[in-house]
A and B are shown apart, each in its own frame.
Chain A
Amino acid sequence: MNTTTLLINFAYVISAGLFIFGLKMLSSPATARQGNLLSALGMLLAIVVTLFYSGLDYKWIVVGVVIGTVVGLVAAYRVQMTSMPEMVALFNGFGGIASLLLAWSEYHQHPELSVFIALVTFLSAFIGGITFSGSMVAFGKLAEKIPSKAIIFSGQHIVNGAILLAALVSGVVFAMNPASSYAIFLVIVVVALLFGVTSVIPIGGADMPVVISLLNSYSGIAACAAGFVISNNILIVAGALVGASGIILTKIMCKAMNRSLANVLFSGFGATTQAAGSGEQEGEIRAASAEDVYYILEAADSVAFVPGYGLAVAQAQHVTQELGELLEENGTEVSYAIHPVAGRMPGHMNVLLAEANVSYDQLVEMDEINPRMDTVDVCVVIGANDVVNPAALKDESSPIYGMPIIETHRAKTVIVLKRSMNPGFAGIQNALFFYPNTRMYFGDAKASIQALVGEFKSD
């Protein structure tokens, strides 16, 4: 190892330290921003020192970096906060394809690989490929460019199993004799891309938080494998950190839906369970007008808003914040109760409300609000459905039975904002709508809240 290489590798150690500190600072909203900047600084340092390796072809590096920077910045600053899940999916996919291309390029330059290096080259290309095509499908579903419902066909598991088996067999054949297996490598690339598509299409829209978390983890593992290919510690450390992060988020999301990862990945929820749990409900629907809702809110001492994906669709975060503000001026205690899987990615609702200037200490987690739900005067459910369905607690025949929910039905009054009586994503009728303390306030979420704001202002 010559001096330059040694110095470069020492700089990588510093970068790794900055990544770790950056992630550590993400544990509080107060320090999170500096944490991210620290992590970005670590990345910049790693990039700059890498350019000191001798024999690089700067012309092409500049081309790649300029294109990437322009596209990345434009995308990052143009994207709406409500579209954040698809943006993350897209960036994630690009990270995956970069690992695939890197492995390919290394293999192309040095086809004589040891068995170990050949194996990690296979993993880097395979996982990178799945990450890319899987993320593209997730992006398409989230941006509603392709149907977000689970797409199921008969024999799907057999097809997926066969593809996976084919990939593993070609991986082994490739690792045995990499120098003469260029064609097999290309087969691996194609199979990986195919597998990404077939494994994500059967997963429905509401399960997207799990899928995005998992793909996030894959992209880290792919980077890690690429690190083994080129024997580079910084890729291994950073990739492992991301891999661990994705796995933890996946676990949290699964727990919040009371389902195993296998169930999310293989069951096609929402398509197969539609028939179940749509039984007759007891009780009746009580509709309320803007004026009724205004009087209820005006008299309340404490109000908890419970947002869901519908809030994002209706872009109602700003009016909701305005209403919250008016309620506070009226002496009401306002909080926002957020279910871990509300929205289409982990923490989706928190970002939207932060965008609308809601103070982060008003955002409360499910486990925090549930014990004191009995003391809440009014819960306002905005575009959330399954995450507040009491059937999850009581009805053993319900497909969502056992899933932890925000127990809004225990509040003194529940106001549910809803476009119509259509059941939610999972196709399950919501028992909450038929509770005696529930009032249904029909209409577009944004317009409905706007009307309430108007009532408060004209007062």
Chain B
Amino acid sequence: MEPVFLTFVFVLAIFLGFELISKVPSTLHTPLMSGSNAISGITLIGSLASVKAGNATVAIILGTLAVAFATINVVGGYAVTNRMLEMFKKKDDGGAK
């Protein structure tokens, strides 16, 4: 049953994603892309859980690399998105001058 249950979640999430993203204005497409990119670093969760005590050397190397790469994706992605969004200002709230 588990594969069916997981597929259920998957299909619903896809529909939700379509609904959410189609409301994002084109002005914000770059931050959307880098922000959603950071979310795709969610693999980090799986990578963390795969680095278990007593793993074989190969698994340790693979797991640690996965953690490092996914962390770059997550941390870098959110930081750069935040940096971009900080710049989106309107005039009256002190944007220009």
Chain A residues within CB distance 8 Å of chain B: 12, 19-20, 22-24, 26-30, 32-33, 35-37, 39-40, 43, 46-47, 50-51, 53, 55-57, 60-61, 63-65, 67-69, 71-73, 75-77, 79, 81, 84, 87-88, 91-92, 94-95, 97-99, 101-102, 104-106, 108-109, 116, 212-213, 216, 219-220, 222-224, 226-249, 252, 321, 325, 338, 340, 345-348, 350-351, 354-355, 357-361, 363, 365
Kindly list 4 other residue pairs between chains A and B, CB separation below 8 angstroms, not including A227-B6, A365-B26.
A57-B55, A71-B76, A351-B31, A357-B96
Distance in angstroms between the alpha carbons of A233 and B9 in the assembled complex: 7
User: Which residues of A sit under 8 angstroms from B44, Cβ to Cβ?
Assistant: 43, 47, 98
- From the candidates B38, B56, B71, B77, name the one contacting A64 in the complex (CB within 8 A): B71
Residue of B nearest to A322 (CB): B96
* A241 x B62 contact (CB < 8 A): no
* B41 x A216 contact (CB < 8 A): no
User: Which residues of A sit under 8 angstroms from B9, Cβ to Cβ?
Assistant: 233, 236-237
* B42 x A36 contact (CB < 8 A): no
* A40 x B86 contact (CB < 8 A): no
- From the candidates A33, A222, A252, A348, name the one contacting B86 in the complex (CB within 8 A): A33
- From the candidates A19, A37, A61, A92, name the one contacting B67 in the complex (CB within 8 A): A61
Distance in angstroms between the alpha carbons of A354 and B97 in the assembled complex: 13
Known: A230-B46, A357-B96. A76 touches B65 (CB 8 A): no
* B33 x A347 contact (CB < 8 A): yes
Distance in angstroms between the alpha carbons of A357 and B83 in the assembled complex: 13
A-B contact pairs, 14 of them (CB 8 A): A23-B17, A40-B82, A50-B49, A68-B74, A72-B71, A72-B72, A75-B72, A98-B69, A98-B73, A106-B46, A240-B17, A245-B33, A338-B27, A360-B90
User: Which residues of B sit under 8 angstroms from A24, Cβ to Cβ?
Assistant: 20, 23
* B75 x A69 contact (CB < 8 A): yes
Distance in angstroms between the alpha carbons of A219 and B77 in the assembled complex: 13
User: Which residues of A sit under 8 angstroms from B13, Cβ to Cβ?
Assistant: 236-237, 240-241, 244
Distance in angstroms between the alpha carbons of A95 and B81 in the assembled complex: 16
| Nearest-Cβ distance from residue A382 to partner chain B, whole angstroms | 18
User: Which residues of B sit under 8 angstroms from A77, Cβ to Cβ?
Assistant: 79, 83
User: Which residues of B sit under 8 angstroms from A29, Cβ to Cβ?
Assistant: 25, 27-28, 85, 88, 90
* A219 x B40 contact (CB < 8 A): yes
Distance in angstroms between the alpha carbons of A106 and B14 in the assembled complex: 25
Report the contact-size class of chain B (Cβ under 8 Å from the partner): 35 or more
Distance in angstroms between the alpha carbons of A60 and B14 in the assembled complex: 34
| Nearest-Cβ distance from residue B65 to partner chain A, whole angstroms | 5
| Nearest-Cβ distance from residue B19 to partner chain A, whole angstroms | 9
* B45 x A347 contact (CB < 8 A): no
User: Which residues of A sit under 8 angstroms from B97, Cβ to Cβ?
Assistant: 325, 357
Distance in angstroms between the alpha carbons of A63 and B9 in the assembled complex: 33
Known: A98-B41, A109-B59, A248-B21. A81 touches B84 (CB 8 A): yes
The interface residues of chain A, by DSSP majority, are classed as helix
Distance in angstroms between the alpha carbons of A55 and B53 in the assembled complex: 6
* A64 x B55 contact (CB < 8 A): no
Residue of A nearest to B92 (CB): A359
Distance in angstroms between the alpha carbons of A375 and B2 in the assembled complex: 61
Distance in angstroms between the alpha carbons of A99 and B70 in the assembled complex: 8
Residue of B nearest to A229 (CB): B46
Distance in angstroms between the alpha carbons of A71 and B67 in the assembled complex: 13
* A102 x B39 contact (CB < 8 A): no
Distance in angstroms between the alpha carbons of A172 and B52 in the assembled complex: 29
- From the candidates B50, B63, B64, B76, name the one contacting A75 in the complex (CB within 8 A): B76
* B40 x A216 contact (CB < 8 A): yes
* B78 x A347 contact (CB < 8 A): no
Distance in angstroms between the alpha carbons of A108 and B60 in the assembled complex: 10
Distance in angstroms between the alpha carbons of A148 and B17 in the assembled complex: 32
* A26 x B24 contact (CB < 8 A): yes
* B26 x A223 contact (CB < 8 A): no
Known: A24-B20, A64-B68, A244-B21. A223 touches B42 (CB 8 A): yes
* B33 x A72 contact (CB < 8 A): no
User: Which residues of B sit under 8 angstroms from A365, Cβ to Cβ?
Assistant: 25-27
* A216 x B27 contact (CB < 8 A): no
User: Which residues of B sit under 8 angstroms from A363, Cβ to Cβ?
Assistant: 27
- From the candidates A102, A234, A242, A246, name the one contacting B50 in the complex (CB within 8 A): A102
Distance in angstroms between the alpha carbons of A236 and B42 in the assembled complex: 9
Distance in angstroms between the alpha carbons of A347 and B84 in the assembled complex: 11
Closest 6 CB pairs of A and B: A68-B71, A244-B17, A64-B67, A347-B29, A72-B76, A72-B75
* A354 x B84 contact (CB < 8 A): yes
Chain B 1-23: CB-based contact to A (< 8 A → 1; otherwise 0): 01100100110011111101111
Distance in angstroms between the alpha carbons of A450 and B27 in the assembled complex: 26
